[in-house]
Amino acid sequence: MRCQSGVEMEEASRTRASFSRRVLNGLLLCSGDMDHLDKYMKDKSFVLQLAVCGLRGVTRVILANNPLSGGLILTALYWASPWQGLLGTLGVLASTLTAVITGQDSVEVAGGHHGFNGMLVSLLMGVYSSAGDWYWWLLLPVFLGSATCVFLFSGLSSFLDHWDLPAAVFPFNIIIILYLLCTCPEHPYFPHHSVKPPGALEPNATELIALQVIRGIPLGVGQIFACGDLGPSLLILGAVFLYSPLLAVHALLGSTVGTLTGLSMAVRHESLYSGLSGFNGALGCMAVGGFFIFSLWTHLFAIASAFFSAYADIALSNLMGTVGLPACSWAATLVATLMLLLTGSLAAYRIPIGQVRAPERNLQLRSQWEAGNTEERESADV
Amino acid sequence: MRCQSGVEMEEASRTRASFSRRVLNGLLLCSGDMDHLDKYMKDKSFVLQLAVCGLRGVTRVILANNPLSGGLILTALYWASPWQGLLGTLGVLASTLTAVITGQDSVEVAGGHHGFNGMLVSLLMGVYSSAGDWYWWLLLPVFLGSATCVFLFSGLSSFLDHWDLPAAVFPFNIIIILYLLCTCPEHPYFPHHSVKPPGALEPNATELIALQVIRGIPLGVGQIFACGDLGPSLLILGAVFLYSPLLAVHALLGSTVGTLTGLSMAVRHESLYSGLSGFNGALGCMAVGGFFIFSLWTHLFAIASAFFSAYADIALSNLMGTVGLPACSWAATLVATLMLLLTGSLAAYRIPIGQVRAPERNLQLRSQWEAGNTEERESADV
Amino acid sequence: MRCQSGVEMEEASRTRASFSRRVLNGLLLCSGDMDHLDKYMKDKSFVLQLAVCGLRGVTRVILANNPLSGGLILTALYWASPWQGLLGTLGVLASTLTAVITGQDSVEVAGGHHGFNGMLVSLLMGVYSSAGDWYWWLLLPVFLGSATCVFLFSGLSSFLDHWDLPAAVFPFNIIIILYLLCTCPEHPYFPHHSVKPPGALEPNATELIALQVIRGIPLGVGQIFACGDLGPSLLILGAVFLYSPLLAVHALLGSTVGTLTGLSMAVRHESLYSGLSGFNGALGCMAVGGFFIFSLWTHLFAIASAFFSAYADIALSNLMGTVGLPACSWAATLVATLMLLLTGSLAAYRIPIGQVRAPERNLQLRSQWEAGNTEERESADV
């Protein structure tokens, strides 16, 4: 009897284990790069393929590559503001379609590489526009700007390819600055808000509210998509977590570093509260976390990169603020590019740009590879 | 009798045909790159060789390479202002001679590659100088600036060579900006006009005059040589037509696109009337028309390039106008460089920099090459 | 007797000759790159090795590589201001240690390549700080800035390696600009002096004092280390002379050219008197003198480089002065990079970056190599 009961219990526990394993497998299927989806999508209609590569493009902004995360992020944007959500959707579609029309590499297009810059341009055009929501004329620069991103991405990729560097969000940063320069704040067709540098002195400075500053940390992750509400920002953080928990940790850590940097340089309180101090730090931290194999050493470099990005952002914001321009993510993009060029101990952990996956997967591939190496060495020793 | 008369008529028509063919041949000899002249010039005196490579240099500004066109352009400049004509002549000579002295590649020198930047620098120094015509001290910076262009051209060529990119008019753009920065508007020795950004609001804006705007389109071609009169501008356009009718069409088209862009961004009327809105568009359009084999596809890209150049010019002019600087042809040069880096369907039409000829000749060489390919394939099939 | 006396005299003269030879040899041992020291240092303690490579780093600023010169320069800095001397020492140590920790190439570290940018950043932070000497909080940015220089040096080296270009003082120029941008002049923690552009008009201009202008020439050499006192500047010049008399001549010549340039552009008298007009010219002249084999031809190019550096410095200072920033040594660094890219007759004299020694040694190696070539040719002829 006891024996039977033991067998039963074992079976029950097996069933439970298999159930939880199935749930876990399901979750794992939705997590990471979802390569298995590509095979499934091959014979589907063009519209469905476009949707998936658009959603992949949405996540490329945060160095992720997962259509479900993309869906979550789009939901967050529509939640924060339906107009912004619409602009983002149109931007990603416009630039992906331009890439298809101008005959860009189809693997790159399918991977969403041509969507994320267009999306960011559209979102930022919407945020800086002072003509209010649902100002339909704005779709004109949104379409033009998003389409031009493809040209810049393709040209810059050719240029940077020699050093195995990605074009990253350089196209977005260039196009949004050109757009804001084209249109002065009081422009008759496309007016926009003027930008106040973070170092500007406040006439009647109040006490710093600690809770607001802490609230700014998750907002820093949302500000990557120009989203300044807490709920949607947390949803965006959740989308990063779905792709890779490790990347989400880097995002939060980087945003914290960015906020600390802002405190150390006594920037305007507004900048700390809104998360604008944090988002360059978050991007700089995620870039090292994403493009290098995770290790204690890499982690220290990621923190250094976050600090450097955040300080450079304050500097560039002060510089560009003198002509009323925002620094966007210039700082993080430049610092990330620098980190990828680094020689020395960090270079040993670098993954070639074409082989970058979710950090967990990178780690696994490395372990397998190293295990293989050890085995080989052992068998050679024998 | 009838037969004889028929023979006579045939002969007469033959004579006429041969005469018109000879005229056409004569015109064709003067058109295009005039490679045949090089053989003829080989044993001529140094002064004559210098004159020819100087005239070739004059046309390099508009991506042409024809000494007769160069002569026409110089005539146009002397017509518009003898002082400007003199400055242009001195500039092209100074930089060509510097190239000879510093031992630059003789084929490049003979092709006029070292003349055009010096010429532009001299012309622009003359235009921006507020000391009036025939201010002889200006020859000092004109000589120095033109000579320095050779250094920049040589250095930048080494740098850009890796991507098979030309140094283009980057040297001119750099030197003229450095010169204007060196001398503030109220400089005791070299005073210059301050530049007003095109996006500056006009206090008492008047109605836009359509005829003036249309007049600005050919002026846009003249503004490439800093020439703002209609007659000389048309002569310059004629010089482009002599080199290559296709390039002339691109020039006019680009200038039109630039003017449209200016209208869409509501720039100052002055900017539209003077052709300053158009010349970056014209250059951007000509660059794609000149560096790529002509086709419907390339033509669309040329228009896109014109739009992008013109918008970027407005943006850069507004930015540089905040410190009183002109944007020169930075926009068109950067956009043209970007187009040359592009991957995708446009890249298939790209001609290696060393093999670029007049667009018509490029087209012909391509047809020959393709015909040869087809024949080969056919013979292989048989 | 006569014979004996002759022998005695010969012996005495031999003794004298051998003595003066020994002194000369001793001096020669202390001069140049002191490669023999490296062998001697191999088994010494880490602290001693760090000191030597730190001192080598100090001299890298002026394209020298000699620990004794480094000692002299540090002495000069402590003489001018103990606080500045301390900052310089900490800067060079901080960045050298960061290079060791981040695993940079040990040969490069030993050669002092990772020290000089950190030192310059620290010195300039001290000079621009308006909080007065012995403001200990300044050590925070000094450490951070010096450490970041290593990242920039490593990344830029990877980038520029393709053209065999050195990262030179680009890292210093970038970091100091970012630091000054981060902190506005009235910053609560790190206030700094605002910079006045050299082209700014003086309200009550006085007569130019010739003696003061001449005094500015040696000061121009001292200003490379942000040192504005005559005594220490002369000591720094002496340190350059110890490394290489030829380089010292180039330094003085370049500073003279820079001062002439300043006169020709009518810059503020202050700029001429303090040596700030001269130091970019000096650096530009030394760069060509140091990276190319000495000859009449190279010498002319060195003077051209000095002129170009000095003019570019005035231009950049005027530009960056509009936002209250100094131009540092951007002009000289950019011009030197350009000179290294040059094709034509100068390129024949260029020494590969890894093989650059003291100019005298370069000349000697070239002569030996050429003599070898001639001998070979002669033996081949026989």
B343–A158 CB contact, under 8 Å:
yes
| Average of per-residue pLDDT across B257-265 | 93
The SS3 assignment for C227 reads coil
pLDDT score for A189: 87
C253, C247, C338, C228: which is closest to C303 by C-alpha? C253
Q: How many CA atoms lie within 13 A of B74 on its CB side?
A: 25
The distance of B280 to chain A (nearest Cα, Å) reads 15
Does residue C220 surpass a pLDDT of 70?
Answer: yes
DSSP A35: T
Residue A80 tokens, joined = 């924060």
pLDDT score for B205: 65
C154–A304 CB contact, under 8 Å:
no
B154–C312 CB contact, under 8 Å:
no
Measured between beta carbons, the chain C residues lying within 8 angstroms of A205 are: none
The CA-CA-CA angle for residues A79, A81, A86, to 5°, reads 100
Residues 6+ positions from A149 with CB-CB distance below 8 Å: A95, A114, A117, A118, A121, A171, A172, A175
Q: Which of A151, A152, A178 sits opposite B311 (nearest CB)?
A: A178
A105–B343 CB contact, under 8 Å:
yes
Contacts of C among chains (3+ CB pairs under 8 A): A, B
B318–A184 CB contact, under 8 Å:
yes
Q: Which of B158, B178, B186 sits opposite C343 (nearest CB)?
A: B158
Pick the CATH number of A43-193 from 3.40.1440.10, 1.25.40.850, 3.40.50.1820, 1.10.3430.10: 1.10.3430.10
CA distance A247 to B123: 55
The distance of B69 to chain A (nearest Cα, Å) reads 33
Does residue A58 surpass a pLDDT of 90?
Answer: yes
pLDDT score for C382: 44
pLDDT score for B29: 77
pLDDT score for B196: 80
C318–B182 CB contact, under 8 Å:
yes
* Length in residues, chain A: 382
The distance of B264 to chain A (nearest Cα, Å) reads 9
pLDDT score for C372: 64
The dihedral through the CA atoms of C267, C272, C276, C278 has a sign that is: positive
Residue B376 tokens, joined = 């080969």
Does residue C22 surpass a pLDDT of 90?
Answer: no
Alpha helices by DSSP H, listed for A31-138, are 36-41, 46-60, 67-80, 82-101, 106-110, 116-128
Residue in the structure block whose two tokens are 């509501």: B266
B188–C343 CB contact, under 8 Å:
no
Do C158 and C166 touch, CB atoms closer than 8 A?
no
DSSP B13: H
**Mean pLDDT of all residues in chain A?**
88
The distance of A314 to chain C (nearest Cα, Å) reads 6
The SS3 assignment for C63 reads coil
Partnered with residue C96 across adjacent β-strands are: none
For residue A343, give the chain C residue with the closest CA.
Answer: C154
Does residue A99 surpass a pLDDT of 90?
Answer: yes
Interval C29-73: pLDDT, tens: 788 888 788 777 777 888 999 999 999 999 999 989 999 999 999
Do A278 and A254 touch, CB atoms closer than 8 A?
yes
Q: CB contacts < 8 Å between A and B, how many?
A: 70
C183–A201 CB contact, under 8 Å:
no
CA distance B281 to B256: 8
A152–B338 CB contact, under 8 Å:
yes
Interval A158-177: pLDDT, tens: 999 989 999 999 999 999 99
The distance of B338 to chain A (nearest Cα, Å) reads 5
Measured between beta carbons, the chain B residues lying within 8 angstroms of C311 are: 144, 178, 182
The SS3 assignment for C16 reads helix
pLDDT score for A368: 77
Does residue A3 surpass a pLDDT of 70?
Answer: no
Does residue B100 surpass a pLDDT of 70?
Answer: yes
Identify the residue among C319, C323, C345, C349 best suited for mutation to test binding to B, counting B beta carbons within 10 A and taking the highest.
C319
For residue A300, give the chain C residue with the closest CA.
Answer: C102
Judged by average pLDDT, the poorest of A271-275, B372-376, C25-29 is B372-376
A177–B338 CB contact, under 8 Å:
no
More confident residue, A252 or A354: A252
CA distance B121 to B143: 10
CATH annotation of C207-381: 1.10.3430.10
Q: Which of B16-20, C195-199, C359-363 has the highest mean pLDDT?
A: C359-363
Does residue C379 surpass a pLDDT of 70?
Answer: no
Burial (CB < 10 A; 0-12, 13-18, 19+), residue B75, is middle
pLDDT score for A217: 94
Q: Which of B266, B311, B343 sits opposite A104 (nearest CB)?
A: B343
Measured between beta carbons, the chain A residues lying within 8 angstroms of C144 are: 307, 311
Does residue B1 surpass a pLDDT of 50?
Answer: no
pLDDT band at B382 (very low <50, low <70, confident <90, very high): very low
Q: Which of A25-29, A127-131, A306-310, B35-39 has the highest mean pLDDT?
A: A306-310
Identify the residue among A319, A346, A350 best suited for mutation to test binding to C, counting C beta carbons within 10 A and taking the highest.
A319
| Average of per-residue pLDDT across C186-200 | 83
Alpha helices by DSSP H, listed for A102-223, are 106-110, 116-128, 139-160, 170-182, 210-222
Q: Which of B318, B341, B346 sits opposite A181 (nearest CB)?
A: B318
Q: Which of C265, C308, C318 sits opposite B148 (nearest CB)?
A: C308
CA distance B217 to B221: 7
Could you write out the DSSP letters of every residue in C139-164?
A: HHHHHHHHHHHHHHHHHHHHHHGGGT
The distance of B292 to chain A (nearest Cα, Å) reads 15
Q: Which of C162, C265, C319 sits opposite B162 (nearest CB)?
A: C162
Do A49 and A41 touch, CB atoms closer than 8 A?
yes
A182–B315 CB contact, under 8 Å:
yes
pLDDT score for A18: 78
Do C329 and C340 touch, CB atoms closer than 8 A?
no
For residue B137, give the chain C residue with the closest CA.
Answer: C264
Interval B103-137: pLDDT, tens: 999 889 998 999 999 999 999 999 999 988 899 99
Q: Which of B99, B182, B187 sits opposite C315 (nearest CB)?
A: B182
| Average of per-residue pLDDT across C214-223 | 94
pLDDT band at A37 (very low <50, low <70, confident <90, very high): confident
Does residue C370 surpass a pLDDT of 60?
Answer: yes
Identify the residue among C96, C108, C149, C151 best suited for mutation to test binding to A, counting A beta carbons within 10 A and taking the highest.
C151
* Length in residues, chain B: 382
Measured between beta carbons, the chain C residues lying within 8 angstroms of A341 are: 154-156, 158-159
The distance of C340 to chain B (nearest Cα, Å) reads 8
Does residue C9 surpass a pLDDT of 80?
Answer: no
Does residue A183 surpass a pLDDT of 50?
Answer: yes
Q: Which of C266, C316, C322 sits opposite B189 (nearest CB)?
A: C266
More confident residue, C340 or B266: C340
pLDDT score for C353: 87
SS3 content of chain C, % helix, strand, coil (to 5): 75, 0, 25
% of chain A surpassing 90 pLDDT = 60
Residues 6+ positions from C57 with CB-CB distance below 8 Å: C70, C92, C95, C96, C112, C113, C114, C115, C116, C118, C119
Interval A313-367: pLDDT, tens: 999 999 999 888 999 999 999 999 999 999 888 888 999 888 888 888 888 888 7
Interval C289-324: pLDDT, tens: 999 999 998 999 999 999 999 999 999 999 999 888
What angle do the packed helices C139-160 and C116-128 form, to 10 degrees? 140
Judged by average pLDDT, the poorest of A136-140, A373-377, B41-45, B105-109 is A373-377
Measured between beta carbons, the chain C residues lying within 8 angstroms of A296 are: none
Q: Which residues of C touch A (CB under 8 A)?
A: 99, 102-105, 144, 148, 151-152, 154-159, 162, 177-179, 181-184, 186-189, 323
Contacts of B among chains (3+ CB pairs under 8 A): A, C
B178–C318 CB contact, under 8 Å:
no
pLDDT score for B378: 53
Measured between beta carbons, the chain C residues lying within 8 angstroms of B179 are: 315
C118, C170, C220: which is closest to C329 by C-alpha? C170
The distance of C184 to chain A (nearest Cα, Å) reads 7
Q: Which amino acid is at B215?
A: R
Do A198 and A268 touch, CB atoms closer than 8 A?
yes
Q: Which residues of A touch C (CB under 8 A)?
A: 162-163, 199, 201, 264-266, 304, 307-308, 311-312, 314-316, 318-319, 322, 337-339, 341-346
CA distance C328 to C339: 19
For residue A189, give the chain B residue with the closest CA.
Answer: B265
A316–C105 CB contact, under 8 Å:
no
In which residue ranges of chain B is CATH 1.10.3430.10 found?
Answer: 43-193, 207-381
Contacts of A among chains (3+ CB pairs under 8 A): B, C
| Average of per-residue pLDDT across B136-140 | 93
Does residue C381 surpass a pLDDT of 70?
Answer: no
**Mean pLDDT of all residues in chain B?**
88
